[in-house]
A and B are shown apart, each in its own frame.
Chain A
């Protein structure tokens, strides 16, 4: 059964992706839920939350709120929290409850915006999609809201889109990326500021490090003619590559990370046969394998003989009794929730 997970836990959801982009940008973030979704994000999917004080709230929805659709009451609570918090923007992020009762997020946004003098963004997550969908929505909404002015391009400035702990699996992602880039590097969402977002039009080019940043890169290209490149600098730095000469290799991660590692392997071992696969990135055509279920994943292993697999260890359970080659842990926080720092 495609929707049944027997070996894996669910991957990071859209609302976690949405939060990960906004988390460091000094806004009020409200998860429109009953509490559990907020707990999942704070206690699990947003590792920065334990060390970085943030104005993150749960709407604390209760059954009667959902049944009666008390949006006015919710808007009043949102407005009050935004006023107390004195932050630069407010983002209201959906969850399964508003998805079921069809909360009118644009209306909620307008109700709050009327009473507040900071920008209010509404992001309709449902908890049923993967993190990349929510992250992409966050980037787009951020740039549409704040990057409204076409500024002169500054030579030597680079924007980085798509960097979050969910993909880079480390709290040091900004440091890792900076090691590989020179110039004035602005990593939106990790180490970057809201001012960097507002001045997005002045960067010379954008680097898109995960598919979550791709739509925003296209938007910025269309709006400000900013070119972009796809690369995931440093994401596979920690991996040791043994002798892969003539070996059949499979890399499983988000597509850009997988391609980065593939590039590195082929540079050292041009005769290696390297395939990539992902459970994510439905829009990307780069992967050799697209897994929609545990069954798909297992089938690929049954039909192909790989010598070496680079993938998060969480996937190993699916094929433990049919795959006998070597497995190199390529952690993906959005899958296993493990940071490189924990390994």
Chain B
């Protein structure tokens, strides 16, 4: 066996096509290498939002995790955060439970005990279950109904089924559905919309707020900005939903069906012509005029200034960041910047970016963080000046870089501006 990390150039990968991706780049074909670069893949909640933390996005809710002890272990770290300190509860399964499912009978009693033990009862209880109940085939909807009857509060399941990560409804998509499932139908208000997709708010400066306000949408609601359960319930009066992350699509579909709120999906893009085109498409869908000229020009100016100063930089782009690695790499390449390495997971959704990237930057090397061969990744062989993404920074700890994975989310032109400003700050 050769002791080198597997990679393939963008050109060769594009030629192979999305149906012939080498097995080294496919997580299901190998063991998953666990380095600090893959922590977010194995355990999204280790740093950031996993199912447990995401489930608590519903204001004034508490969570009961029903699992063997190991599944809730890292929540000890989350419990140090005052926002979550007294909102997590655990019903531990033993060896008999995980085989027979006898723990199911204890859940309603546990929920009742939790509710009565708090000075003020919670507005909702989220019950998080794990791979164990996925394999047992637990009917969690039924269990939640029983809990609700016993405790007199709404009870909702959150499925932390790591086993279904690459399935039709992965855990992070499923939990997005759960957190909006408590909304009840209300009369629509034409000046209200919701932004779905993230568990933390967009940056206050994001132009999306201003653009929506310019066409009369005054109530722009995001789950993470809702301070109380009553405020959260107002999300049901939205005239439309904007889906900013495809993992919220299922939630949007549910809301469309149950609450009759239509939705429009927007992508997190970094090419300003594409951002402009997307806003124009949004304007058309809403039957309004959106004037983004000012934002476009500002971003164009920032990109030009950056290129004038740092145009010769060679980038490594990771996947532990607030962007699709291939879309971001393509954007940088189209701006005339050099992307030498990508550490990312290629699939059907982002192969389109890879194909375009292959045309303008054929020699870009594509690695998979998850490949066992990454044990041998040798940074000395990489010609990199700047790393973008927490994983890329792990590989190139001696080079300047930005994590670009803050909890406050960047979007649209503002993301482009902030990206170059953050890189510039580090370089200066």
- Residue ranges of A at the interface with B (Cβ–Cβ < 8 Å): 1, 3-6, 8-16, 30-31, 33-40, 42-45, 49-50, 53, 55-63, 65-67, 77-78, 80-81, 83-86, 95-97, 99-101, 126-130, 314, 336-337
Interface residues of B in 83-110 (CB under 8 A from A): 88-95, 97-99, 103, 106, 109-110
- Residue ranges of B at the interface with A (Cβ–Cβ < 8 Å): 1, 3, 27-36, 39, 41-47, 67-77, 79, 88-95, 97-99, 103, 106, 109-110, 113-114, 117, 130-132, 134-136, 160-167, 370, 372-373, 375
In chain A, what residue has the closest Cβ to B35? A53
A38-B43 CB under 8 A given contacts A80-B30, A84-B372, A127-B68: yes
Q: A1-B91, A9-B76, A80-B30 are in contact. List 16 more A-B contacts (CB 8 A).
A: A10-B72, A16-B70, A30-B31, A34-B131, A34-B162, A34-B163, A39-B34, A40-B73, A44-B74, A57-B32, A84-B372, A96-B130, A99-B99, A128-B70, A128-B92, A337-B73
In chain A, what residue has the closest Cβ to B134? A63
Tell me which of A10, A31, A86 contacts B73 (CB under 8 A): A10
* B68/A96 in contact, CB under 8 A: yes
* B131/A96 in contact, CB under 8 A: yes
List the 6 shortest-distance A-B pairs measured between CB atoms, nearest first.
A39-B43, A43-B46, A127-B70, A39-B42, A10-B69, A34-B162
A-B contact pairs, 16 of them (CB 8 A): A3-B106, A5-B90, A10-B75, A35-B41, A37-B70, A39-B39, A39-B74, A44-B73, A60-B370, A81-B31, A96-B67, A126-B68, A126-B95, A127-B71, A128-B92, A128-B95
* B94/A3 in contact, CB under 8 A: yes
* B162/A100 in contact, CB under 8 A: no
A96-B71 CB under 8 A given contacts A4-B90, A36-B43, A38-B42: yes
**How far does the Cβ of B304 sit from chain A's closest Cβ, in whole Å?**
39
A42-B39 CB under 8 A given contacts A10-B90, A128-B93: yes
* A38/B92 in contact, CB under 8 A: no
A4 to B112 Cα, complex, angstroms:
12
Residues on the A chain within 8 Å of B162, using CB: 33-36
A15 to B103 Cα, complex, angstroms:
22
**How far does the Cβ of A70 sit from chain B's closest Cβ, in whole Å?**
11
Tell me which of B1, B43, B114 contacts A35 (CB under 8 A): B43
In chain A, what residue has the closest Cβ to B44? A39
A47 to B351 Cα, complex, angstroms:
36
In chain B, what residue has the closest Cβ to A15? B70
Tell me which of B46, B90, B370, B373 contacts A44 (CB under 8 A): B46
Tell me which of A39, A96, A101 contacts B46 (CB under 8 A): A39
A42 to B93 Cα, complex, angstroms:
22
Interface core residue of B31, B44, B45, B46 (most chain A CB under 10 Å): B31
A279 to B114 Cα, complex, angstroms:
22
A63 to B28 Cα, complex, angstroms:
11
In chain A, what residue has the closest Cβ to B33? A57
A57-B31 CB under 8 A given contacts A39-B43, A85-B375: yes
Residues on the B chain within 8 Å of A78, using CB: 31
In chain A, what residue has the closest Cβ to B76? A9
Residues on the A chain within 8 Å of B135, using CB: 66-67, 97, 100-101
A57 to B73 Cα, complex, angstroms:
19
